[in-house]
Structure 1
Amino acid sequence: MKRIELLAPAGSMEALVMAVQNGANAVYLGGTKFSARAYATNFTEKELEDAVDYCHSYGVLVNITLNTLLKDQELEEAVSYAHFLYEIGVDALIVQDTGLILRLKETLPDFELHASTQMTVHNGEGALYFTEKGIQRIVLSRELTFEEMRHISKDLGVETEVFVHGALCISYSGQCLMSSILGGRSGNRGRCAQPCRLPYDLIDEQEISRAKAYLMSPKDITAIDDLEALVDTGVSSLKIEGRMKRPEYVAATVKSFREALDGEKSPTHRQNLLKVFNREGLSDGWFFGKIGSDLMSFHYPKNTGVPIGTVKGDGALALTKPLRKGDGIRVGEKGLTVEGLRLKGQVVDVAEEGSLVSLLGRGKLPAGPLYKTYDAVLMEELRRSHNGLYDRKIPLTAHLVFKPGHVATLSLHHEGNTYEKSTSSLVEQALKAPLLKERVEEALKKSGENPFVIDTLHFDVFEEGFLPVKVLNELRRLLLEEVVAKEIQSKKRPLPKGQTPKLPSIKAPSATHLRLVAISTKDQLKAALCHGAKELLFYPFYRGAEYVSFSDIKALLASKSDLKIYVKVSNILRQELHGVLTRVRNLEEAGPLAGIVTNNAGVIRALSKDFTIIGDYKLNLMNSKALDFYGEDLSMAMVSEELNKKELKALTDKERYITLLYGRQELMHSEYCPVGATVGGMKKGTPCNEICMTEHFRLKDRMGETFPVMTDIFCRSYIMNGKPKNLLDTSKEISAMGFTAHRIDLTTETYEEATRVVEAFLTEAPLPLEAFNRGHYKRGVE
């Protein structure tokens, strides 16, 4: 199998050591600042430098996550932190914030940057867009199939990284605002509260629950059984998710994938991966297309464990798999650690399959299916996979000159460098017994606290003589320490001086006093036209007869020359991208479009030369430099929905931004559909019955809050905020800050509701509502 990078997570030093010792080619980890796993242990600056040096001594690359969105007051601190990382020899930064990317290109132009999966790169045009902007590697969205990976990696020649094992976000990464909007904990800033792991009801228009489960909680994915096909796609790096997982998880995943990549396939790989962590099993994700309910962990959102029997009504355990003292077990939500077992009246530490046993100690389990969540024997075996920092050895070939009357000289070549050390004393004539060649070889082939070992020794000159063995040991130690020091030092570098890179030119705002009305349904269009709206934004992708379509837009372009018509092009377009681009271009056969609104980098690359492009709010522009990254490709952009009043005031060039004054924010954009996977009957091999064409559904959480589920013509779903954001009573205040362009979004509103919203928007009047939210205008995000 072709050599390919295996990239492991490291949420702690112990996990990092396990990754290196079990064969990772590279690791990714976060410091204490600006990492998308804010709740991981993470590394202090001293710990980071030690970790980087340790990895480089093994030739393992180190990628640091600087992949959160940054506020204006944080940006320069992040740049300074990147300078520190550059100096200590970090190999690459994983980044999301385009303002940070721009600043790094200004100050550290040769620092390798990888586009985080938070940048939602999911089509070839998007991958090319960011590589043309100086990004070395693209971490592709997890939703892509092998076929799509192959197109981007092989056909287009883009360096790519893909997730091959671990937890799956149910929304496209970078397109989720659910944790942020509902609880103020932003996934874009590493603080996701994981609302997808909570239970929901799927309710219909009659308030009847049609499904109840952990409807948004996916299984973890794995490609352990499909590595040959995956490697054949041409991707450059296979990434394991898990910076929040225990070190033994890292050991198990890296060991299994390393062995499988090296041709040592075994059924135990999948078995062990299930044992260390799974949610109702492991899925293929989207590697081979949509699989509906087979993707999901509907019944239990945490580590399920593996089934090992049942607990009977009297508390006895009927085992179908072995159970040991120290194992962790559960029934439903109740779990415990086995303190001991009683088998046929005898206290035992181990019970084999087929046994009927009872538990010792005070812990009891209810009747039901029994799962093992912690395998004590496996965990101990994984911990032993590194008894020390340097168990795994890199073999070297050395040459020795050993001749009485001369110093003994040991030399070797490694990675293009020649190393040589000599003893401080001469080899003596043997007065009694000479030092045997075998004893010399034994001393020089010892392994110490060092990643290298001399496993082949050539005696270029060997004549009988004598040296104390401790002198040979010192000779070996000094030589190998020099190799390590060279490997570490070669990665460190001084900060560049005198850099004056050319910055992207900025396009003037296309419409500084824009009053944009975003419309979803035909009834909303009637309401907008009846009440004088002249600047209209359409999203022709929602599924259902009530929604505005491409043909409706074309008819409007042909008949209403006094309107400025904008089209919002979907944030997610995969194989359908070029077909959609053709449909957008064909609209101008009926009349000119005022512009395109999108977050999709592929759309920006394809259309920016021919259309005015406005960035949408999930472009996640959180600081004043972020929009500059796009240069002349964007004329304007929506501000981030995660900025508060104070942060909005701090933005510069406010005339280039549009604010959202009203609308249900799109909380998730997902390849998965909770309607299709439940009442739609979709699973692997069974298509959806398209019930969303005739019925409407909402998700209902534990607190009774509901969230409309909308679907599109590509069978993707959108989870919308149940309560609209309403800042219409602050429109004058926001305009006084310097923002001159504003927008409202109509999604589920009726004709009557749309009428009230449009009237209030166009007259700058407040809109009293019984239920609404202020977005982040007052509070902001962590």
Structure 2
Amino acid sequence: MERKVELLAPAGSIESFYAAVNSGADSVYLGGKNFNARYNSQNFNDEEMKHIIQYAHNKNVKVYVTLNIILKDSEIAKVLNYAVYLYENDVDAVIVQDLGLLYLINKHIPHLPVNISTQSVVYDEFGVKFFEKYNVDKVIMARELSLKQLKEIAKNTDASLEVFIHGALCACYSGQCYMSSFLGGRSGNRGKCAQPCRLNYSFYDKENKTIESDYEAIPVLSMKDFIGGETVVELIEAGITTFKIEGRMKGPEYTSSVVEYYRKIIDNCISGDKIKKDEVIELEKRAISTFSRGYTNGYLMPSIKDDMFARTSSGIKGDNIDIIVDEVKDKTKEFSFYRRRKIDFKINLKIGERAILTAYDDSNTVTVYSEDVCELSLKNPATDILIREQLGKLGNTIYNLGNIEIVKDDNVFIKKSTLNHMRRESTEELYSKKAVVYNRQLMGEISNEDIFDFNKNIRKKKPTISLKINSNEEFHIIDKIKMKRVYFPYDLDLDAIKKLDGIEKYLWIPNIVSKNQYNIFKEKINYYEEIFDGVCVNNIGSLYFFKEYSNLKIHCGSFFNIINSFSAQLIKEIGIESFSYSFEANIKDIGSIKNNIDIESEIVVYAYVQLMVMKNCPMSIVRNCKNSEDCNTCNYNTKYALKDRKGVYFNIERKNRLTNIYNSVPLTLIDKTYDFVRMGIKYFYVDTKWEDNIEDIIDALYCEINGIQTEKVLNENKFTRGHYLKNIL
């Protein structure tokens, strides 16, 4: 069967890049020195990147460059012009997380292909359909999806879909983790994750106020590594086009061995050859030997027998790792003997004329001429053996010698040095031709003026409180004088909400939404429109859903990670009513957006930030639970907190088959709102979750944003300002 299937490999170093290409990858992904999600990887400067693209294209391999972090206004011009550089140097695509960068590429570099990063949290058909409107080349799906879910998404969408099949697993949905950011100032959304999910934690029983002694100080969030070889054939049949290997921080022996394993499976599937199980098993063992925390396929093929928690943070390597390193050594070199390309020559040698050498590969033809004319020599005429010997010296190239056609006069003479020079010149020209795939025009630098071309007519808003309640028992907190907007989770008492008046009522949708939840939304959409003024969405898929299926105003919540003006401009242009700044935005980011974009905005002023949302349940380790069907009724769903090595406690909640982990202290701007009020931000957001004294908080905030002095309500050293007043990200 003829199918377009792509094996995509990581390259964090030049050796790993060569290993990926020479082991059989169809494409590689890698990063420049800045603006990518693997800040600590070796990465590549501009000249190295140019060489990489040329080399890859010469071996029929594509190059995708990662620009997969959220970006600030202060750096967006530099990133966009780096994308111009990549475009002009024939990159095949860039990988993007930030909505603002997507907006700018569509506007200024519309012919540059964009792959949507897994950091953009696309986990359903609605998210894919949103990005289809932006002419993206492919969408990289969330790792947490099952084979069944991916089949359905592929069936209902047109975009090319990319899935991870091997490598490390984050505990949290990518793009929704703030743990490293808030605990250590190193944001995963900015490429600097410190991997707090690999650290040791204890389970703290909140009811009994005890530590679970059997599970004290172990890496309870650390996941096994992903291995999806057994599922590749079914994914191909489902319509998945790109299979991605994780591992830009790993060595070339890992890259080579893992590529070879999946290359064999994919090639056998496409050719229809019967898979030789023994051969595949040996390749799998070899891949596992290069790095392992234990392996799982629990996302693609959920099974009660597949425990996805590693209970260890570090990986191990097999006893044969030194042998593997030695065996792949040649593949890590530029002029490896693997995956060399065939070159054919035709040479014409006529006495009194310049020599003519024509070189051919599978795509191009070049012709070069000698500087001197050929001479007559009865003593040392050029023999076929000599000509073949000189033209066959291809060691420092990517070519293997194919056919040589020799047309020459009798007793013609040509210098060896001339033959060598012509061979080098022809191979270099052929290489340069093959390196260029797209024949793009030079664009030149895009100026700040062209990028920041906003029509500024900014209207400042009178500040007010927006409140999110979390239970039916909290309705009494709603104060129509002190707040203008209230967010209600979809599972609260709708009839009671309907009776409320005098406030903006917004339906609140979490950042991860299941198919069952969407079915509830569809069923109740008409009733929602009767009750609510708008809906707060926290994922691109639910944004698409409510724009398509309802007439409600839409507010984009903090989980959209908006920290630049262009992300705000994108959502404004599609009719979004208002948005929240990212938890990771600082005062400069917020001020810049407010100066550029006239759209109602909201800032989180008091909330225990959800640091992680994960599909797996850490409490299952204690309970030895294999059932995800009864999470909402499980006695353990709020029983525990995590205690870290510093004695800090983090609340855990299991709900709707998801685990949410919350910060130990609230993020707050109380006592510091003056500058933000002056900017003209309209909504100052308060979340009741985990807070016992919420009415005092609301009273203090109401007074503060209205210029009334009040007593302090914050407990010293029991809150965080987050990144609002810093610039460390």
TM-score when scaled to structure 1? 0.81
Q: Which residue of structure 2 lines up, in the alignment, with residue 708 of structure 1?
A: 651
Does residue 536 of the first structure (1) align with residue 486 of the second (2)? yes
What SS does structure 1 have at the residue aligned with 2:642?
A: strand
Q: 1:202 maps to what in 2?
A: 203
- Among candidates 429, 432, 436, match of residue 482 of structure 1: 429
**What is the 5 A alignment of 1:125-140?**
125-140=126-141
RMSD of the TM alignment (CA)?
A: 3.4
Question: What residue number does 1:592 align with?
Answer: 531
Relative distance call for 1:434 and 1:261 in structure 2 (3 A) is farther
State the distance in 2 between where 1:584 and 1:721 align.
33
8 Å CA contact 1:398, 1:413 repeated in 2: yes
SS of alignment partner, residue 625 of structure 1:
helix
Aligned-pair CA distance for 1:429: 8.0
Alignment of 1:612 onto 2:571: no
| Greater CA drift, 103-112 or 528-537 | 528-537
Q: Which residue of 2 aligns with 1:383?
A: 329
Structure 1 residue 41 displacement after superposition: 1.4
- Pairing partner for 2:496 from 556, 560, 569: 556
Residue aligned with 1:62, SS? strand
| 1:227 Cα offset (Å) | 2.4
Q: 1:415 to 1:129 in 2, by over 3 A?
A: farther
Question: Any idea what the Cα deviations from partners look like across 1:365-387, whole Å, max 9, x if unmatched?
Answer: xxxxxxx5x72222222223345
Whether the 8 Å contact between 1:679 and 1:691 is mirrored in structure 2 is no
Q: Amino acid of the residue matched to residue 474 of structure 2? A: Q
Q: Residues 634, 192 of structure 1: CA spacing in aligned structure 2 closer, same or farther, 3 A cutoff?
A: same
Aligned with residue 274 of structure 1, among 288, 291, 313:
288
Distance in 2, matches of 1:710 and 1:755, equals: 23
What is the aligned partner in structure 2 of residue 107 from structure 1?
Answer: 108
User: Of 649, 653, 659, which residue of structure 2 is paired with 1:717?
Assistant: 659
Q: Could you say which residue in structure 2 is the equivalent of 1:661? A: 605
The separation in 1 between residues aligned to 2:374 and 2:643, in whole angstroms, is 83
What residue identity is the alignment partner of 1:275? Answer: S
Q: 1:689 to 1:565 in 2, by over 3 A?
A: closer
Deviations 1:255-274 (A, max 9, x none): 33223333374222221122
Q: What is the aligned partner in structure 2 of residue 759 from structure 1? A: 699
Taking structure 1 as reference, are residues 736 and 32 closer, same or farther at Cα in structure 2, changes over 3 Å only?
same
Hey, what does 1:304 align to over in structure 2? 316
Q: Which amino acid aligns with 1:282?
A: Y
CA contact (8 A) 2:394 2:400 kept: yes
- Counterparts in 2 of 1:626 and 1:506: CA distance versus 1, 3 Å: farther
474, 490, 506: which is aligned to 1:524?
A: 474
Post-superposition offset of 1:557: 3.6
Instruction: Give the conservation status (yes or no) of the 8 Å contact 1:24–1:254.
Output: yes
Tell whether the 8 Å contact from 1:655 to 1:739 is kept in structure 2 after alignment: no
Deviations 1:3-55 (A, max 9, x none): 52222211121221222222222221111111111111122222222322322
Structure 2 Cα separation of the partners of residues 734 and 484 of structure 1:
57
What whole-Å deviation, never above 9, does each CA across 1:253-304 have from its counterpart, x for those lacking one? 223322333337422222112211111x111141123659711111x21113
Quote the Cα distance in structure 2 between the aligned partners of 1:465 and 1:407: 15
Structure 1 Cα separation of the partners of residues 701 and 613 of structure 2: 27
SS of 2:180's partner is helix
1: distance between equivalents of 2:60 and 2:201?
Answer: 47
Instruction: Provide the residue aligned with 1:334 in structure 2.
Output: none
Distance 2:696 2:523 in 1: 32
Query: Which AA in structure 1 matches 2:535?
Result: I
**Could you tell me which residue of structure 2 aligns to residue 257 of structure 1?**
262
Counterpart in the other structure of 1:317 = none
CA distance in 2, matches of 1:601, 1:508: 26
What is the number of residues matched between the two proteins?
Answer: 698
**C-alpha contact (below 8 Å) 2:651/2:664 kept by paired residues:** yes
Change (3 A) 1:498 1:762: closer
**Compared with structure 1, are the counterparts of its residues 426 and 80 closer, same or farther at alpha carbon in structure 2 (3 Å cutoff)?**
closer
Alpha-carbon contact 1:662-1:745 (below 8 Å) kept? yes
Q: Retained in 2: the 8 A contact 1:219–1:296?
A: yes
C-alpha displacement of 1:224: 2.6
Q: Which moved more, 1:740-749 or 1:393-402?
A: 393-402
Q: Which residue of 2 aligns with 1:565?
A: 505
Q: Does 1:17 align with 2:22?
A: no
Mapped contact 2:166–2:225 kept (Cα < 8 A): yes
Q: 762-771 or 401-410: which moved more? A: 401-410
> 1:662: how far off?
0.5
Deviation at 1:221, TM superposition (A): 0.6
Q: Which one of 728, 731, 746 corresponds to residue 673 of structure 2?
A: 731
Whole-Å Cα distance in 2 between the matches of residues 92 and 504 of structure 1? 27
Counterparts of residues 36-185 of structure 1 (less than 5 Å): 36-185=37-186
Over 3 Å counting, the alpha-carbon distance change for 1:574 and 1:412 in structure 2 is farther
Question: CA distance change for structure 1 residues 621 and 689 in 2, over 3 Å: closer, same or farther?
Answer: closer
Q: C-alpha separation between the residues in 2 aligned to 1:707 and 1:293?
A: 27
Deviations 1:565-594 (A, max 9, x none): 2111121124336314314514337x3311
Q: Aligned pair in 2 of structure 1 residues 215, 177: CA closer, same or farther (>3 Å)?
A: same
Q: Cα distance 1:560–1:191, how it changes in 2: closer, same or farther (>3 A)?
A: same
Residues in 2 aligned to 1:189 and 1:521: alpha-carbon distance in whole angstroms: 34
Residue 627 of structure 1 deviates from its aligned partner by: 0.9
Deviations 1:294-352 (A, max 9, x none): 11111x2111335xxxxxxxxxxxxxxxxxxxxxxxxxxxxxxxxxxxxxxxxxxxxxx
SS state at 2:431 partner? helix
Distance 1:383 1:689, change over 3 A: farther
2:367 aligned counterpart, secondary structure = strand
- Cα distance, 1:480–1:651 mapped onto 2, change above 3 Å: same
| Aligned residue number for residue 707 of structure 2 | none
Counterpart of 1:193, as a letter, is A
Return the letter of the residue paired with 1:565: K
Q: Is the 8 A contact 2:9 2:28 kept in 1?
A: yes
Distance in structure 2 (CA, Å) of the matches to 1:425 and 1:478:
15
Matched residue, 2:623: 679
Residue 294 of structure 1 is matched in structure 2 by: 307
User: How big is each residue's C-alpha offset from its partner over 1:479-516, in whole Å with a ceiling of 9 and x where there is no partner?
Assistant: 32221011234557443389999999999999975521
CA contact (8 A) 1:675 1:692 kept: no
> Which of 714, 718, 725 is matched with 1:778 structurally?
725
Alignment partner of 1:622 is 2:563: yes
CA contact (8 A) 1:506 1:632 kept: no
In 2, Cα distance between equivalents of 1:399 and 1:39: 45
Cα–Cα, structure 1 residues 474 and 285, in superposed 2: closer, same or farther, change >3 Å? farther
Q: Is the 8 A contact 1:535 1:564 kept in 2?
A: yes
Question: CA 1:621–1:480 in structure 2 vs 1: closer, same or farther (change >3 Å)?
Answer: same
Confirm or deny: 8 A CA contact 1:665 1:721 kept in the other structure: yes
CA distance in 1, matches of 2:474, 2:331: 63
